[in-house]
């Protein structure tokens, strides 16, 4: 009862002194409903700041507010960059996304394996060029019909199901999320890949 009265004073409900609820109604749901009503108001920075400070003492209400510190609440027109530019911002990166995706790269006949960070490349051309540089060889030209034609090497990768797939068939993002390791196949095995299995 006391907390409710204190809360009413905060909201300055004196003007109407209206209270929702049948006798015996749950207090929690009332406070939640009140807090969600507050959120319907225009998001003035002052309001969000007040919310952050005053609500910290009232836990029942706090569940509706974000757990991030008040400074992270959306402020209209901040930071001050033109709407046009804001709409062009890159999508956010989570912690997990920001760190690299390192996969092993093996080449048939090479004495040891290498590791590369798939995050660093933005598409197949970059990746293939990097692999060519790393192992000093050339990959042939890619075509959907014949795989990599023109050299005795073919880049392949192991996907989540454990199958060996030819690099380049699926969209880059899909490849990045399913690639577990890379292998540069050589010789007859590689050519075998070119003849539609």
Partner 1 sequence: MNHKRKNPDPSPDSDESTTQLSSPFPDEVLERVLSLLNSRKDRNSVSLVCKDWYDAERWSRTHVFIGNCYSVSPEILTRRFPNIRSVTLKGKPRFSDFDLVPPKWGAYVHSWLLLFATKYHFLEELRLKRMTVSDESLKFLALSFPNFKALSLLSCDGFSTDGLASITTHCKNLTELDIQENDIDDKSGKWLSCFPENFMSLEVLNFANLNSDVNFEALERLVSRCKSLKVLKVNENMTLEQLHRLLVLAPHLRELGTGSLLQELMPRQHSELKSAFNNCKNLNILSGFYEVTSIFLPVLYPACTNLTFLNLSYAALRSDELSNLLIHCPLLQRLWVQDSVEDEGLEAVGSNCPLLEELRVFPASDPFEDEILHGVTETGFLAVSYGCKKLHYVLYFCRQMTNAAVATIVQNCPDFTHFRLCIMNPRQPDYQTNEPMDEAFGAVVKTCTKLRRLAVSGLLTDLTFEYIGKYAKNLETLSVAFAGSSDWGMECVLKGCPKLRKLEIRDCPFGNAALLSSFRKYESMRSLWMSGCKVTMDGCRLLAQEMPRLNVEVIRECGNDGCQADKLYGQERMPHLLFSLFELCTNLETLSVAFAGSSDWGMECVLKGCPKLRKLEIRDCPFGNAALLSSFRKYESMRSLWMSGCKVTMDGCRLLAQEMPRLNVEVIRECGNDGCQADKLYVYRSVAGPRKDAPPFVLTL
Measured from the CB of residue 62, what is the shortest distance to partner 1 in angstroms? 19
Q: Which is nearer to partner 1, 85 or 160 (CB)?
A: 85
| CA–CA separation, 19 and 8 (whole Å) | 9
Measured from the CB of residue 162, what is the shortest distance to partner 1 in angstroms? 29
| CA–CA separation, 74 and 44 (whole Å) | 10
Q: Which is nearer to partner 1, 92 or 145 (CB)?
A: 92
CB 118 within 8 Å of CB 197: no
User: Which residue ranges make up the site for partner 1 (CB under 8 A)?
Assistant: 16-23, 33-34, 37, 42, 44-46, 71-86, 88-95, 98, 122-126, 129
Measured from the CB of residue 74, what is the shortest distance to partner 1 in angstroms? 5
Tokens in use for 120? 């660093």
DSSP state for residue 195 in the 8-state scheme: S
Q: Which is nearer to partner 1, 40 or 188 (CB)?
A: 40
CB 28 within 8 Å of CB 36: no
Measured from the CB of residue 177, what is the shortest distance to partner 1 in angstroms? 19
| CA–CA separation, 55 and 58 (whole Å) | 5
């Amino acid at each position: 009862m006391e907390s409710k009265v204190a809360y009413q004073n905060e909201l300055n409900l004196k003007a109407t002194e209206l209270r929702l609820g049948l006798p015996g109604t749950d207090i929690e749901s009332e406070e939640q409903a009140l807090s969600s009503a507050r959120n319907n108001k225009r998001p003035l920075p002052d309001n969000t700041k007040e919310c952050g400070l005053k609500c910290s003492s009232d836990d029942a209400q706090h569940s509706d507010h974000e757990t991030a510190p008040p400074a992270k609440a959306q402020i209209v027109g901040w930071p001050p960059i033109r709407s046009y530019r804001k709409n062009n911002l890159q999508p956010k990166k989570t912690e997990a996304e920001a760190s690299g995706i390192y996969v092993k790269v093996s080449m048939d006949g090479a004495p040891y394996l290498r590791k590369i960070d798939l995050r660093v490349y933005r598409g197949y051309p970059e990746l293939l060029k990097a692999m060519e540089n790393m192992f000093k060889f050339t990959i042939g030209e890619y075509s959907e019909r014949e795989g990599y034609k023109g050299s005795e090497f073919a880049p392949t990768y192991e996907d989540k199901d454990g199958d060996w797939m030819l690099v380049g068939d699926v969209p880059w993002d899909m490849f990045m999320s399913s690639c577990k390791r890379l292998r540069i196949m050589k010789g007859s095995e590689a050519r075998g890949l070119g003849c539609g299995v």
